[in-house]
Structure 1
Amino acid sequence: MNDNKLIRDALGSPIHGQYWDGQKFVIPNGEGVDFSKLKMLRDALGSPIPQYYDIETGGFSAITIGTNNTSKPNGTMVLDGSYEVDWVKRYGYEMRADNNHMLHAKQGITAISNGTATAIRNNNIRPFSLTNRKTMTMFVYVENRENLTGLAIYLANDIDYTSYRSYEFGANTLVEGWNELRIDLNSPTESEGLFDSSIKSVQLLVASVEFSIVKVTFDSIFVGEATKKPSVIFTFDDAWTSQYEIAFPMMLERGFKGNIGVISNWIGIEDEIMSESQIEEMHRHGWDMFNHSANHKNLTNVTVETAVSEVLTCKNWLNERGYNRASTILAYPYGVHNKEIVEALQPHLQYARTLVEGLEPTFPLEALIGKTKNVLTLPAAILMRLCGSSDYHTKHIGFLFA
């Protein structure tokens, strides 16, 4: 491929994200784009910043370097390098934890090659689904890129890799430092066995020039949102540990995200209630934490002032920990409310869910008395299929509303 030209921007730098299709370098959905006329992103002095061609926006997007406060890409995070104990070195030179380079993970995991290929593998992932997914994004940090000869990611249906797909990246498609690698899931480099959409193991392979060191730190993988279909929202009240142990992996494997109603004064204190670390893990995988009050009091049995305090205490708890996407979404404790409570909470909330059965047939919605569909009213055979047993208490299933 040395005689084939890379696709370059207006300054002559290779466009990030291109790949070799067997005949030439291409950028997914970027064929025919005149990059010499496409404006690059620049800093205050007019110098280009690290960037790549974003096929979704049709322009350049910034690669934010050296911070774990980077905004997350669209999609769901299905794996990160946070837990070193889950990774093993299959072969090669060295694997180690990296506490210096993190974007979306609490810790990175580094594969080091010294001239021979090094492969690291995680067989302890929470299985995730690629059903109806078209793209995947992987974040890696590269040191000594000039020594890199290749990088590949393997997605397997089983831990023995009898059925897998791999996606390879040539050294010329990566840069020193952070790389945001967009992957077309329909265009694998290699495919083995009867591959299906359920992923149970991931392997990263790094290769370098002979007798030369290269380090690649794996940060995280996000899969793109599924093709659009009618939408529902899964909500689970109270933050029971069974929601973390049962519902979370069950839904992740099927490509779903859910929402947990947090009772802030119960977290880490009450038995059978999630710890903060469990909540944080679910949040990193795209789940939202919504407001279920501070102590789960019946808000109609206390003063209006106390009711408002219950809601605002939980709202502040969520915001202080970065769970602010749904802190203004409330599920009334026990589903109960009255006119005075609704009016008092109006300035503080975007939406509140009752236990009134039904779907909303018209817009606008009455935002603070939202209806719901209790899945416990589904036939027992369906509930048993969802739970895998006859134990379908609300702590496992929660509620569903559209």
Structure 2
Amino acid sequence: MHMVAFGHVIRPCRAGLLAKASVLSLTLLVCGCAGPLALHHAVIGYDETTAHLEQQLLLLNIARTDSELPVHFTTTSSIAATFDWTTTVGIVRQLQDSPGTDFWNFNLGASASENPTFSIVPISGEDFTKRILTPFKEDAFESLVYQGARIDRVIRLMSGGIEVQKPDGSFNRFIENNPRRPQEYEEFRRIALHLDWLNANRHLFVRPLVFEETLIADFKEVPRAEDINNGFNMGLTWRQKPDGKYKLTRFRAGNVVITNYDPQALTDQERFELDEKVKRNPEGFVYVDVRPGDPGGDFPIQGGIKLRSINEIIKFIANGIQVAPEFPVENDPRTGPIYENPAVTLKINVTDTPPPTNVPSIKYRGKYYSVGDTQWDRTTFVVLSSLFQTAVGDVEDVGIPITISK
């Protein structure tokens, strides 16, 4: 094939074809690499930023409370980013008068851009009451302990005190987790240490009560096949009794209990009766029953652990800075050896200069608020962050978000 340009006959050379092939290969390579790299950096970057913001919000509100100011939370409800990958290729051939001296110019460019849109939601009004002021439920407590968090750490952080109850479940007295009430605070700490010792030695059970609940006690007719099948799909079971009648039952998970005995070793009726007694406690209580005759029973405990809200937890930590600092408490003589027993639940340092180590910190009103540089404090702050996500993590359908586009 021949091409005519400016009156000259030019034959395409093999070098030109190789150049075209090289340009095409390089173009495909650039297109294939730019996009995934940009996406990888963006996703990791947004995740790191969101996690850092949560830490900053917690420390900021601790600092606000320490300054006797109200807390305020704003959370990111969504991050949407549009990615645009562009590759440009230009090929220019310069023809010379003398044959064999033509020139090729190649222009190759690639770019990747993103257009993020952030939606942030101030937690206020009824939602503020629900998420910030309402005490945590027992399942949040049970989940943390189930995942391996030390129970004394969780109790000291989440609990405002222990309501000691009589055998029938009625109120006896309250033991407050408050250093401004030294005697009650010391007793509370000793109870938390005793439970931690039992747990460390595999003598403590933290789990929901599971029992068989009877829905229909005496059914004279034979259940229809479709009723049996439908009931099976719903977790219901029909059983024929010795007198020929039928009963309909289902397994139900009741309230969470902390015991020094295995609740599954109780009869089904005993678990049901215990759950009925626990149900009389309001939401936000975790029932404790350390009874005599079982491991650790020489230090009997019966009552309910009163759970805090995220606002109360922040206030407790902030008060520990100067208003109501915690102090060391030794374990009860009836409690075995304790591996770790720090005086402060979560140490927050307030300094004029940044912390010397890489710990979560924030500058507020000219002061630096930072997490104590110990393994205990770092781990406790992780637990606090988990509780914060539990309280305000789900922000769908919450008010009108503030949208910021870049």
- The bucket for the TM-score relative to the shorter chain is under 0.3
Flag the structure with more relative contact order, 1 or 2, with Cα contacts below 8 A and sequence separation at least 6.
2
TM-score, normalising length: structure 1: 0.21
* Structure index of larger Rg: 2
